[in-house]
Each structure stands twice: as structure tokens, then as C-alpha cells.
Structure 1
């Protein structure tokens, strides 16, 4: 039978160093962050920040998401090349930095363009959707046939007048007369508009319409166009060659 050595603690199966480590762990405050944890978190945050910075630089300042195509839609009389040239989009430009408003402003400078929408389509396409002007009348001039749209805009010159459109027999530069004549024309009912062969005026207040069958309508100015059209529809059922609706309250037929 062995006898414990006097002055020594009984053996517990562990070393003093292990006991001290266990004591230190026991004394730790719950939730306390160690230095190693702080360093690790800072490294992770730095890596995330560097990744974000790299991504931003790649997108905004490199061809990573560069323009590789300008897609033009809606061009009829204009060519795709004409629209692209006017848009002035550089291949490889970072798509997120492309000035879509500036592109739209430049494309609108093309006389045939009535409206344009510009959109980005990732990863590398700029899409231009244009609406071209449509003629409602024409003016013959020394340099050719001028096409005029519903806003009275003189937007193109062609060699041959379009079939089925009335002729404005007035100087294309006479803007008040052109505006008044076109404003009257676009408000006419379809069946009456189809009868109009020519329109003439010296000012915006003395517009005359030449209809098929040798009939003439003295319209006057743009005011009360809808009412004048309703009165004229009734007058045209009567015999006559000159129909005056310039004063719709007192129309005449002769």
C-alpha cells in the first residue's frame, strides 16, 4: 500500500499548464472579441472593399461592359447608318457612362426624326427606337418638293410629290400660312380631307381649299375648324362651286 508524498497535491491526470489554460478560458467574458477575430474581420472587410472598387472601376472605366452594338429600330426613309452616325456612340465606351440624353438630342437633329427613345441593354447594346415624320401635304419649290408633316414642319425634299396628298400652294417659308393650312387640314374629317386637292393662302387668315369636282371652299383662319367642317358637310349637298364657311354663322354657296 503506497503512501502519498507529504507536501505534494494529489495527481489529477492533467498538467499545471493545462489547468491554467482551462482557468483562463473559464475567466473569459462571454461575447468578448479576441485580437485574432478583429484582424480577421478587418481583412475580410478590406477584401470586400477592394472587390467592390475593382468592379466599379471595371464597369465605369474599362471596356468590361463596353458598347459593342448600336441597335436602330424604326428607320424607314432614313438608313441605319445615318442614324448611327448622328448618334455618335463610340464602340467600347463603358455602357453605364453613355449619355443617352445627348444621343437622343443628336438624333433629333435629323429632320426626318419626329421622336427617338434611347435605352441601354446590357451587357453591350445601345438601342435607338425612332419614329419618322409622316407627310400630310407638300409644297413645290425651285429646289424640289418639300414634305410637310402634321406639325407644319418642312422636313424633307423629294423629287416627286407623294400620291394622294394635297398641295400647299404657298411659299414654304410663309410659316403662319403653312401652320394655319396644315392645322385646318389635319382637323378635317377623313372623308372631307380626301377631297382636298390644293390649299392656298397669303396669310394665316385667308385659307382656301380646292376640292375635287372644281369646287372651292373659302375657309378663312384656323378658328372654329370643327364647326366649319360640320357646316361645310351640309353645304356640299347643295348645288354650287364656291362654298364660304369663313363665318360659320353665315355660310354661303354660289
Structure 2
């Protein structure tokens, strides 16, 4: 019976492994990958030719320099005009002057944030503004103007006040359809507690809460106390509003009441759960 020579150790028994063939370059082949697919090795050159590196750096510098010159130094992207949108009472020329956008220089150099700040500081009628670049030659300005919810008499002139209580303009004539706030406070402890500023804010809130069908007919809002606000309407009519609280509910009740009693001269929604109308 033939077999391995006595004393010979097989690789399974822990004996020396037979020599393995070497690849060109001196490295023995690694174990075959799972799945039986050969491994691919891609060898990149360790160093690029110096000439290629210089050419790449030069090309990049030309691109960066050319782009910077095109944006900052050429006439391709100059700030040449300002366009204005959103004006109602203001004119585009007023807005453009207040923005103070420098023309003739690079469009990218225009500080849009500073232009917006100049607008808001110079024109209180502007509630908000957007200033942006419109390539290649334009700065666009879009403004949102404040809307008067009430006016205050200031001597022979009128001060417009928006729904936030901001006094933003003084005009010679009161805007049509905007009620005049008349502060005629009594000397009660409530008035001393709230002060005229709080009473004015309450009047502004009432004006903002009036139904659209009624707002244009309101001629004045008389304020005697915090819960003593009366709205005067055209045709000698009036509405006892009470306090500025529950404004939306009072507005809905007033609309329904005026529909049911269109010829009444006095409406009372100070207690919206128990409204009343009188006169004819």
C-alpha cells in the first residue's frame, strides 16, 4: 500500500507550506476574491509632469482672474438702473432717491442691505422693502406701504396711523374712508390707569376690526374710556363698541344687526351676546 513517506507532514497537519509562485515584481499572489472574480488594480502615476501642473495652475489663474475682471472691472455687469415696484402713495422717484443706490459701479458691489435700511429710515410710510440685484445691470426695489387705519388731528393737519399704532405720515387732508380718532377721556381711575397711549391703541384696534362694509362709512372713533368707545357713521348713526376686546365677534354681530335693522340709527355691540338696535 503506497502513501506518503513516513514522517512527512501535510499542509493540513501544520507542516511547511509549499513555495508559491511569485508575480513579476516579487509579490506572491493574494488569495482569490470571493465569487471567483479577479481583482483589478489601477495604478496612477505618483507624480504629474511639472509642465502639466504649471499649465493647470496657469489656466485656473486665468479663469479666476478673468471672472473677477468680468464681474468687477468690465462694463458687462455695471449697475445702470433702478426699478421700483409696490408704490401706492409714494412715487418711484421718491423711493429711488431714498434708496441712494450708486450707479455706474460694479453691480456686485452694491450693498442691498444698506439701501434697504436707508429706505426704511427715510420713508416711514414704507412698512417693508426688498432690494435685490437683477443681472446684468439692474437693482430692483419692491416696497410695501403702510395703510392708514385711523387718523389723528394735529392742528390743521392729520396724522395717519396704521393698525399697529405706528404714526407714519402727516397730510393736509384726511384720507377718504379712514375714521378720525377723537380722544375725549373722562377723569376716571380707568383712564388714569390705561393712559391716552393705550386708549389710542384701543381705538386703532377697533378701526382695524370694523367690518369692511362699515369701515368706509366710519367718520370718527370717539374714545372716552377703555370700555367706552363709540364709532360714528355717516347719516348720523353710531355704534357703541365698548372695549376693544372680542373685536372679530363684535364685527360679525354688527354686520348681522345692520342687515336686520338697516334703518336704525344706534347700534350697541358692547355686549356681543346681547346686541341691540334703536331709532329709525
**What band does the TM-score fall into relative to the shorter chain?**
0.7 to 0.9
Q: Report if the CA contact (8 A) 1:120-1:126 is conserved.
A: yes
The alpha carbon displacement at 1:204 in A equals 4.6
Q: Which moved more, 1:140-149 or 1:112-121?
A: 140-149
Q: Report if the CA contact (8 A) 1:60-1:97 is conserved.
A: no
Q: Report if the CA contact (8 A) 1:179-1:204 is conserved.
A: no
Q: Which moved more, 1:193-202 or 1:226-235?
A: 226-235
Q: Unaligned stretches of 5+ in structure 2?
A: 1-42, 185-194
Write the distance in 2 (CA, Å) between the matches of 1:80 and 1:239.
45
Does residue 71 of structure 2 align to residue 49 of structure 1?
Answer: no
Task: Look up the SS of the partner of 1:135 in the other structure.
Answer: coil
Write the distance in 2 (CA, Å) between the matches of 1:238 and 1:68.
58
Distance of aligned partners of 1:228 and 1:80 in 2 relative to their CA distance in 1, 3 Å threshold: closer
Write the distance in 2 (CA, Å) between the matches of 1:205 and 1:63.
66
User: What is the aligned counterpart of 1:158 among 171, 195, 200?
Assistant: 171
Write the distance in 2 (CA, Å) between the matches of 1:174 and 1:56.
61
Does residue 117 of structure 2 align to residue 95 of structure 1?
Answer: no
2:215 corresponding residue in structure 1 = 193
- In the TM superposition, what are the counterparts of 1:7-86 in structure 2 within 5 Å? 38-59=49-70, 61-62=72-73, 64=75, 65-86=77-98
1:21 corresponding residue in structure 2 = none
Could you say what the CA RMSD is over the residues aligned between the two structures, in angstroms?
3.2
Write the distance in 2 (CA, Å) between the matches of 1:83 and 1:239.
46
Aligned pair count reads 223
Task: Look up the SS of the partner of 2:142 in the other structure.
Answer: strand
Q: TM-score by structure 2 length?
A: 0.67
The alpha carbon displacement at 1:68 in A equals 1.6
Does residue 118 of structure 2 align to residue 106 of structure 1?
Answer: yes
The alpha carbon displacement at 1:240 in A equals 6.0
User: What is the aligned counterpart of 1:117 among 117, 130, 137?
Assistant: 130
CA offsets 1:216-243 (integer angstroms, 9 cap, x no match):
3221222111222233345542886543
Distance of aligned partners of 1:150 and 1:63 in 2 relative to their CA distance in 1, 3 Å threshold: farther
